[in-house]
Chain A
Amino acid sequence: MKTGLQLLIAGLLVVGAQQAWAQVDALQLRSWAAACANCHGTGGVAQPGMASLAGGSKDDMTKMLLDYKAGRRPATVMHQLAKGYTDEQLEQIAGYFAALKK
């Protein structure tokens, strides 16, 4: 047990710094995406009457969000919300939901 854990720690230390950065970004992205859950459900799995985002296509969702932002796609509210994010943020959030289970 002790030996296994020491090995694990040694392994983690090798790639430590890089993973630490990756993890901070992942947590930030998780928080950004969680702000969508009020309407689109926890983890992007929606209750009836709203679109689920979990497991969708990253490309399709990114295009949709950018179209909302540019006013190319009609909406009641998403065109106003999409303008609050950079294109990169929208793409990252789409990627986050695409990676979640339906």
Chain B
Amino acid sequence: MQRRKLLKTAAAGSVLGALGLVSGCATSGGGSGPKVVVVGGGYGGATAAKYVRMWSDYRFNVTLVEPNAAFVSCPISNLVLGGSKTIADVTTPYDTLSRRHGVRIVRDMALAIDPEKKVVRLASGTELPYDRLILSPGIDFMWEALPGMARPGAQDAVLHSWKAGAQTVALRRQLEAMPDGGVYALSIPLAPYRCPPGPYERACQVAHYFSKAKPRSKVLVLDANDDVTSKGPLFKKAWADRYAGIVEYRPKHNLVDVDAAARTLKFEFNDDVKAAVLNVVPPMRAGDIAFKTGLATANRRWCEVDFLTHESKVAKNIHVLGDAIQAAPAMPKSGHIANQHGKTCAAAVVALLGGKQPNALPIYNNTCYSFVSDEDVVHVASVHRYDAAQKTMLTVPGSGGVSAAANELEGKYAMAWARNIWADTLA
């Protein structure tokens, strides 16, 4: 106690703050440090939880609120639809985060935030106080854009499978149950959406499965965008060379409604499409908890943040990561980027709660692999650097690019990437 008093008095001098002793001093009674609550255990949140613990030298208390029992990766999950991976292959338990890093994991759902009182209320009724809150809520769907999807049973019949897990397995079952000669129709929303190349990889994976098991079947891609939004020439080459007669791509198909019972898609300007299996990726926005807290200020969809800290532009002490943010120019909503947000935010939270300045020049990369078959892969990569004048992350001119062609070597690297990012996020 005497020691704390002494340090607190001395810490009035700014030099001590710069030396990092303030964070030691901020250690409250009973040996507990500042309280950081992380909501959402995906690529962004789990990474932030781990790195706040590591970079605070295990002094800060970190509580991770996550409703799911285990982490199911969206990246690689399209291979479950293609049949070369199982859902178990893309699932990682959370327990290493608690065992190795001392993250307290609360299996619950965050329902509300009181930014004034600095408290998160959970579905169980528990209230978690925080000094800094890190929200990594992912995305939720704008079902209001597709009125028919509100009918009873519609969302069980027409799947999005855009959050990996039960819906991934259920869509694979629908594809297995579909008779040969049937049509699988995939609807893609206008950008921005989670994982720009994801729908096109999915088209490849379903076509791969059909080419082996149901060669008379079709994959019909109905894209609201004017063209393929990522790795366009590489995907189009895969469809033409590998899946000729199976994949048909139709741009400028803006979905406005779904009749699940009649298995029919309705478009703004185009004819209705009926298919044996409908897979609708709806328009999306920041996850519910961020939306309900009023943080989604960009088009009432995405959360604007300070890219040095990921602190919300409208709520102090609340940081937002991952797919939920209003992204910087040419920054994709990817798991890889969410992981980078997690580390950027973790470093900033540790600095700020320790009375230090956050890093003034974040630099990080994105690497995204897409499987065009069970083995061959194409990538897109970019490097993003903070621009102090524009106060956002910009891609570094001359950096980044895509694969020259689909290749097996990158198939091996893609799985090595997955093993490494899963470990970096969760182990």
Bound-complex Cα distance A16 to B262 (A)? 73
Are B363 and A32 within 8 A (Cβ)?
yes
Q: Are B396 and A49 in contact (CB under 8 A)?
A: no
Selected from A20, A23, A80, the residue in CB contact (under 8 A) with B381 is: A80
Chain B residues near A16: list those with CB within 8 A: 15, 18-19
Q: Distance in Å from the Cβ of B328 to the closest Cβ of chain A? A: 14
Return the contact of B399 from the options A27, A35, A47, A83 (Cβ within 8 A).
Answer: A83
Known contacts A80-B381, A84-B399; is-contact A41 B363 (Cβ 8 Å): no
Choose from B50, B362, B415 the contact partner of A49 (Cβ within 8 Å). B415
By CB atoms of chain A within 10 A, which of B385, B398, B423, B424 has the most? Answer: B424
- B2-16: which have CB < 8 Å to A? 2-3, 6-7, 10, 13, 15-16
| Nearest CB in chain A: distance from B141 CB, A | 27
Please give, as numbers and ranges, the residues of chain B lying within 8 Å of A35 by CB-CB distance. Answer: 340, 343, 363-365
User: Is B367 touching A38 in the complex (CB atoms < 8 A)?
Assistant: yes
Docked Cα-Cα span, A47 to B343, in Å, equals 19
What are the interface flags for B353-367 relative to A under an 8 Å C-beta threshold, 1 for contact and 0 otherwise?
000110111111101
B294 proximal to A (CB < 8 A): no
B409 CB, nearest partner CB in chain A, Å: 6
- Size range of the chain A interface in the assembly: 35 or more
Interface membership of B336, Cβ < 8 A? yes
Using a CB–CB cutoff of 8 Å, the interface residues on chain B facing chain A are 2-3, 6-7, 10, 13, 15-16, 18-21, 50-51, 55, 336, 339-340, 343-344, 347, 351, 356-357, 359-365, 367, 379, 381-385, 395-396, 398-401, 403, 407, 409-410, 412-413, 415-417, 419-421, 423-424, 427
Query: Could you write out 30 A-B pairs with CB less than 8 Å apart?
Result: A1-B3, A6-B6, A12-B19, A12-B21, A13-B15, A16-B18, A17-B15, A23-B19, A27-B351, A28-B359, A30-B347, A31-B347, A31-B362, A34-B343, A35-B343, A37-B424, A38-B336, A38-B340, A38-B365, A39-B367, A39-B416, A39-B420, A39-B421, A42-B423, A46-B420, A47-B419, A47-B420, A77-B381, A84-B365, A84-B396
Complex A-B, nearest 10 residue pairs according to Cβ-Cβ distance, in ascending order: A84-B383, A49-B416, A84-B399, A20-B18, A35-B364, A84-B396, A47-B419, A83-B399, A16-B15, A80-B401
Q: Which residues of A contact B (CB under 8 A)?
A: 1-2, 5-6, 9, 12-13, 16-17, 19-20, 23-24, 27-28, 30-32, 34-35, 37-42, 46-50, 76-77, 80-81, 83-85, 89
